[in-house]
Structure 1
Amino acid sequence: MRALLISCALAMLGATSTLAAELGQPKGTVILSVTGAIERTNSGEAAEFDLAMLEEIAGRSASMRTPWTDSVTEFEGPYLDALLEAVGAHGHKLVVKALNDYSAELPLEDARDFETILALRMNGETMSVREKGPLFLIYPFDKNPELYNEKYFSRSVWQIREIEVVD
């Protein structure tokens, strides 16, 4: 009986792990690809996300001043750390790439140590490419005023299309 219970528990654990490890398929337009040192993919060697998939990832809404906006602006989107957890990222740095091929390198700790978000919305509206969308990497300037400097401004990529996780 004990062996049966243990084997049932292991089977359930395996099924749960498998379900948690799988990424769904985007149904809408893909707006983000995560590549590199990741464990979970849904398109070849990449993990691709549409807007709906990104909205399902834990995140936050934050109102703050930034160098790129004229007044206090509300940003909303998933935590970068939660996205990296969803794809099983393991590495030391991220290369965040924009639609215009601009890229910035940042240590993986920026996602782990700060409540960095991939903003999908600005002032409640989905961001167009013209408005720095579809995704804008926002540091928690509202919670950590010491981040309000050129070092973190240069890492705050907008019009993000891809994040490469580097081992």
Structure 2
Amino acid sequence: MRFILAAALLIALTPSAFALDVPTGKVVLSITGEITHRNADDGAHFDMAMLEKLPQRSFTTKTPWYPEPRKFTGVLLRDLLAAVGSQGNVVRAVALNDYRVDIPVDDATRHDVLVAYWLDDKPMPVRDKGPLAIMYPFDAQPALRTAIHYSRAAWQLKLLELR
């Protein structure tokens, strides 16, 4: 019995496996709202190094914004949502210019939606939709080639709010 109590106490005092580091560089993305894992009172903040430490994924796809297919690399939105302990059903994406769009969390679970930070193996500058952009694998499923999904591909992303 003592062993069980000691083990329970040790587990309770151990930092969560999902504990988030505190950013040491410039914050490029904040996540607020219905999340359980935070690194600040108002939510979770990420610098680029923190995002790049998460599992990476890449895909090449055509978009309405570029004449040729482009390669996007970043973290899957579903992995990022898991890292912050998402409890919401909708992600409100907010861009640097205050463009806002609601994305069903179901999109992140059903499709390989990226929070992209590299375009053609290079960092995405602000003048070219960076430093972060929500990107759908439009070529993977024809059903994603719709105005509604194109509108959810928010670029110059600064904030994700879970609702």
Does TM, scored on the shorter chain, surpass 0.5?
A: yes
Structure-2 separation of matches of 1:140 and 1:4: 53
Q: List aligned pairs for 1:11-22, cutoff 5 A.
A: 11=9, 13-14=11-12, 18-22=15-19
Match of 1:94 in 2: 91
Match of 1:160 in 2: 157
Structure-2 separation of matches of 1:71 and 1:14: 52
Higher strand share: 2
- Letter of the 1:34 counterpart: I
Unpaired runs of at least 5, structure 2: none
Is 1:148 equivalent to 2:145 in the alignment?
yes
Unpaired runs of at least 5, structure 1: none
Match of 2:129 in 1: 132
Deviation at 1:146, TM superposition (A): 1.6
Structure-2 separation of matches of 1:143 and 1:39: 32
Deviation at 1:113, TM superposition (A): 1.4
- Letter of the 1:137 counterpart: I
Deviation at 1:145, TM superposition (A): 2.2
Match of 1:77 in 2: 74
- Letter of the 1:78 counterpart: V
Q: 1:9 to 1:142 in 2, by over 3 A?
A: farther
Structure-1 separation of matches of 2:43 and 2:7: 32
Could you say what the CA RMSD is over the residues aligned between the two structures, in angstroms? 1.5
Deviation at 1:43, TM superposition (A): 1.8
Structure-2 separation of matches of 1:145 and 1:15: 49
Deviation at 1:118, TM superposition (A): 0.4
Structure-2 separation of matches of 1:22 and 1:93: 23
**SS, match of residue 93 in structure 2:** strand
Structure-2 separation of matches of 1:71 and 1:149: 18
Deviates more, 1:51-60 or 1:124-133: 51-60
Q: Which portions of structure 1, spanning 4 or more consecutive aligned residues, are displaced by more than 2 angstroms?
A: 3-16
Match of 1:6 in 2: 4
Deviation at 1:64, TM superposition (A): 1.2
What does the per-residue CA deviation read over 1:62-90, in whole Å, with 9 as the maximum and x for residues that have no partner?
Answer: 01111111211100000101111111110
Deviation at 1:101, TM superposition (A): 0.5
Instruction: Count the aligned residue pairs.
Output: 163
Match of 2:62 in 1: 65
Of residues 25, 29, 43, the one that matches 2:26 is 29
Output the TM-score relative to the length of structure 1. 0.91
Deviation at 1:59, TM superposition (A): 3.1
Output the TM-score relative to the length of structure 2. 0.93
Structure-1 separation of matches of 2:3 and 2:139: 50
Deviation at 1:111, TM superposition (A): 1.1
Percent identical residues: 38
Structure-1 separation of matches of 2:138 and 2:12: 41
Q: Is the 8 A contact 1:80 1:116 kept in 2?
A: yes
Of residues 38, 41, 45, the one that matches 1:48 is 45
What does the per-residue CA deviation read over 1:74-117, in whole Å, with 9 as the maximum and x for residues that have no partner?
Answer: 00000101111111110121110000011101111111111100
Deviation at 1:15, TM superposition (A): 5.3
